[in-house]
């Protein structure tokens, strides 16, 4: 008896044995050129004298169907993928996205998914109808296409902060409103094009942008509001100054808006290097082992760049740079965007929503504790702020969300299917 691996391999039966379930699932749809397998027919004993051959097959001999070629059946099942692919790497990524692993490829007598994809790509124009010629790959665009939009949020934020320091009264309020709108539109433009822009409209999920703006607004106003609420305030609306009744913390806003540039560069670097790694890999496990350090390295470089921006922004605004809450928020937003760009949109929306909800709940409990008999509602928040200051709430919520997304990213962004069609956006 052969090894257990032979028993797992789907294929046609021999002799008069019946088709099993695994063999039947590879049968393509019946066409005019194929006939069903002949039933068990008793074979007549051979004649003593051989008859001359006529070149025609005996009617008792079953024809060889396409089931003897399981690769062809697999190509039939993934016909659209094979016809649209511009290279074998896209077929390999698509097969992995459908659950085909190196172990599955062994059943097709291939050492890995990449080898199986190469055969499918080579046979697509011979085994099927004439396929639609694939569109030529988009040439990498100039880096200025995405570098300029990435610079706009930091530029508008800097201009807004300068305007707030130079104006007073209603003029300051007008500058603040116009500046917030300009920064919001600039962020939207930066996230719509380049390495931070999504190339898959079908995977877009509304709501992630709303929670992103909430987290940025909390970084600007939340800690000041929480500090004032714990002290019995606030006594008025924010006036755009750090010393007002509702103080603003402008250093995180300035650093995070300028951080769009290293974020775009990190996403671009990850896409290009992962694509090159995909070209040289010969197995899914080999690719994942090569991309995981690349993902962690680009993530670390972004945090280092954000820390440098904080170190510059703090003294420029005469504020102590809040490293812990800003770095955790930046990590959360970067990971959420990387997952969204590569088509994994569910987890970022859920985590961003949960983080924003936790921050809003912390603020709500402080104000709800002012009701008669509800003093205990603010006890957890008071304890945390007493131990680590008002920034503790933002740091804990953002760090928890970033850690969850980092674990999720190391499992999803290390798949070949996450980078099979990733845009390069320029050379590195």
Contacts by residues 79-82 (CB-CB < 8 Å, ≥ 24 positions apart): 79/128, 82/120, 82/121, 82/124, 82/128, 82/131
Output the pTM of the full model: 0.69
Q: Which of 115-124, 268-277, 289-298, 409-418 has the lowest mean pLDDT?
A: 115-124
C-beta of residue 158 within 8 angstroms of C-beta of residue 182: no
d(CA 190, CA 267): 13
Peptide bond into 242 cis (omega under 30): no
CA distances from 396 to 68, 209, 328, 387, 402 (A): 59, 21, 8, 13, 10
- Residue 307 pLDDT more than 60? yes
**First CA to last CA distance, the chain:** 54
Q: What is the pLDDT of residue 415?
A: 79
C-beta of residue 341 within 8 angstroms of C-beta of residue 195: yes
Judge residue 41's burial from the number of C-beta atoms within 10 Å of its C-beta, 0-12 exposed, 13-18 middle, 19 or more buried. Answer: exposed
What is the percent of the chain with per-residue pLDDT over 70, rounded to a whole number? 59
Question: What is the DSSP track for 286-341?
Answer: HHHHHHHHHHHHHHHHHHHHHHHHHHHHHHHTTS---HHHHHHHHHHHHHHHHHHH
C-beta of residue 161 within 8 angstroms of C-beta of residue 124: no
pLDDT band at 173 (very low <50, low <70, confident <90, very high): confident
Number of Cβ within a 10 Å radius of residue 15: 5
What secondary structure, in 3-state letters, does 213-230 show?
HHHHHHHHHHHHHHHHHH
DSSP 195: G
Q: Which of 34-48, 61-75, 298-312, 369-383 has the highest mean pLDDT?
A: 298-312
Q: What is the pLDDT of residue 80?
A: 64
d(CA 63, CA 301): 62
């Amino acid at each position: 008896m052969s090894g257990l691996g032979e028993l797992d391999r789907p294929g046609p039966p021999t002799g008069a044995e019946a088709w099993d379930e695994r063999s039947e699932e590879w049968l393509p749809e019946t066409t005019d050129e194929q006939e069903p397998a002949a039933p068990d027919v008793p074979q007549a004993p051979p004649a003593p004298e051989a008859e001359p051959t006529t070149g025609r097959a005996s009617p008792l001999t079953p024809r060889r169907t396409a089931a003897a070629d399981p690769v062809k059946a697999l190509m039939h099942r993934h016909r659209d993928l094979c016809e649209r692919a511009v290279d074998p790497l896209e077929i390999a990524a698509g097969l992995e996205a459908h659950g085909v692993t190196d172990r599955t490829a062994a059943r097709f007598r291939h050492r890995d998914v990449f080898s199986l994809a190469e055969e499918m790509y080579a046979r697509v124009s011979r085994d099927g109808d004439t396929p639609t010629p694939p569109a030529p790959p988009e040439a990498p665009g100039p880096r200025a296409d995405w570098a300029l939009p990435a610079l706009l949020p930091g530029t508008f934020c800097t201009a807004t902060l300068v305007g707030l320091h130079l104006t007073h009264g209603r003029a300051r309020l007008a500058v603040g409103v116009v500046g917030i709108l300009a920064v919001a539109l600039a962020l939207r433009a930066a996230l719509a094009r380049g390495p931070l822009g999504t190339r898959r409209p079908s995977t877009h999920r509304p709501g992630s942008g709303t929670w992103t703006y909430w987290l940025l607004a909390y970084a600007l106003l939340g800690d000041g509001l929480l500090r004032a609420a714990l002290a019995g305030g606030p006594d008025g609306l924010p006036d755009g100054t750090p010393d007002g009744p509702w103080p603003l913390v402008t250093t995180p806003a300035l650093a995070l808006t300028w951080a769009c540039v290293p974020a775009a560069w990190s996403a671009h670097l990850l896409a290009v290097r992962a694509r090159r790694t995909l070209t040289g890999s010969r197995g899914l496990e080999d690719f994942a082992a090569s991309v995981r350090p690349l993902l962690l390295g680009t993530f670390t470089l972004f945090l280092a760049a954000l820390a440098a921006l904080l170190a510059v922004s703090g003294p420029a605004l005469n504020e102590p740079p809040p490293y812990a809450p800003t770095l955790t928020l930046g990590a959360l937003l970067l990971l959420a965007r990387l997952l969204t760009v590569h088509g994994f949109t569910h987890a970022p929306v859920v985590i961003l929503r949960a983080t924003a909800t936790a921050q809003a709940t912390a603020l709500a409990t402080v104000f709800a504790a002012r009701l008669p008999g509800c003093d205990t509602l603010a006890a957890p928040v008071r304890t945390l702020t007493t131990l680590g200051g008002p920034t503790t709430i933002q740091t804990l919520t953002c760090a928890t969300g970033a850690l969850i997304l980092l674990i999720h990213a190391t499992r999803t962004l290390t798949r070949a299917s996450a980078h099979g069609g990733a845009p390069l956006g320029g050379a590195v």
